[in-house]
């Protein structure tokens, strides 16, 4: 049995970019809010953190900052995936050297590979860096998905701790859990799948919504881990529309807009991402008000 890197709520934290870099004071405040709200772990340099636009220097400093500010509070997981295996390895080595608790490695995109290629891609890194790895399956973004038999093969590697499953394919999820058992931890990669996946045995969620409602997502996971699914379902239903609205445009466009509506400076978006459209902004504002958020 593999001990999960974390249980409960993990926030895929936004990166508060400025015109000239990163606002680390704002990031510090955001991390402190996460800790005070019961968040178990954070992902830096993930999709929500706009990792394709983070420079090499910023990547290293982000990890150092997160590790320094989260030590003895929350686990720090670093997004290192990409479509160049050697580049992913170098990022994994950097994360390990600085002191991260784990890495999150997405399937390669654009230069898509076979299932055999996926096994070799992830194994190449896992063989060379002794740090727990979370696989990341999000075929809606990458155009390639991990099959259940591929999960089974990868689960045999001691450094592959689990998977962030964001396919929304419950047939795949249940087959994977059946094949891998305790050898592969599973986390929901979608806020709207959290309760259903935890009912099947997932360890928690890597969440976008917890950037604005961290206490809600943490409580949702706590209720599920306690087996109180009636209460978890009721809480989920209250926020289900918000979880959906946060993906009305490409993540992290809506979550950064939502943070600003709440008075939190989430920083600018880096191109090619642009500010949320006015119609979608009004819809997001109305949805946030409907769940009781003060916007």
Beta bridge partners of 9: 205
With the C-alpha atoms ordered 216, 217, 222, 225, is the resulting torsion angle positive or negative? positive
- Any catalytic annotation for residue 219? no
CB 245 within 8 A of CB 284: yes
Active-site residue identified among 75, 91, 136, 219: 136
Helix ranges (DSSP H) in the chain: 24-36, 56-70, 85-98, 115-128, 139-142, 148-155, 170-180, 194-200, 214-225, 229-245, 253-261, 278-290
Return the half-sphere exposure (C-beta side, CA atoms, 13 A cut-off) of residue 256.
Answer: 24
d(CA 267, CA 17): 5
Q: What is the DSSP string of 133-171?
A: EEEEE-HHHHS----HHHHHHHHTSTTEEEEEE-S--HH
Contacts (Cβ under 8 Å, ≥6 apart) of 162? 2, 4, 5, 134, 135, 184, 185, 186, 187, 203
Active-site residue identified among 75, 96, 164, 219: 164
d(CA 265, CA 8): 26
- Annotated catalytic residues are 136, 164
């Amino acid at each position: 049995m593999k001990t999960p890197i974390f249980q409960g709520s993990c926030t895929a934290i936004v990166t508060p970019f400025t015109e000239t870099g990163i606002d680390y004071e704002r990031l510090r405040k955001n991390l402190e809010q996460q800790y005070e709200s019961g968040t178990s772990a954070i992902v830096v340099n993930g999709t929500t953190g706009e990792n394709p636009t983070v420079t090499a220097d910023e990547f290293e400093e982000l990890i150092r900052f997160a590790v320094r500010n989260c030590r003895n509070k929350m686990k720090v997981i670093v997004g290192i995936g990409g479509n160049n295996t050697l580049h992913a390895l170098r990022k994994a080595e950097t994360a390990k050297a600085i002191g991260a608790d784990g890495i999150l490695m997405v399937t390669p995109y654009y230069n898509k590979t076979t299932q055999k290629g996926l096994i070799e891609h992830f194994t190449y890194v896992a063989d060379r860096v002794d740090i727990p790895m979370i696989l990341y399956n999000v075929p809606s973004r990458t155009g390639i998905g991990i099959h259940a038999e591929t999960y089974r093969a990868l689960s045999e590697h001691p450094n592959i701790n689990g998977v962030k499953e964001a396919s929304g394919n419950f047939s795949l999820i249940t087959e994977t859990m059946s094949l891998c058992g305790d050898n592969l931890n599973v986390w929901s990669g979608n806020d709207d799948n959290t309760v259903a996946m935890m009912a099947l045995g997932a360890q928690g969620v890597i969440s976008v919504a917890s950037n604005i409602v961290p206490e809600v997502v943490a409580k949702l996971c706590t209720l599920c881990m306690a087996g109180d699914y009636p209460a978890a379902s009721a809480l989920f239903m209250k926020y289900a529309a918000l979880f959906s609205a946060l993906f009305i445009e490409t993540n992290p466009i809506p979550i950064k807009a939502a943070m600003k509506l709440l008075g939190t400076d989430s920083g600018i978006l880096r191109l090619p991402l642009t500010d949320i459209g006015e119609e979608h902004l009004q819809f997001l504002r109305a949805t946030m008000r409907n769940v009781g958020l003060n916007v």
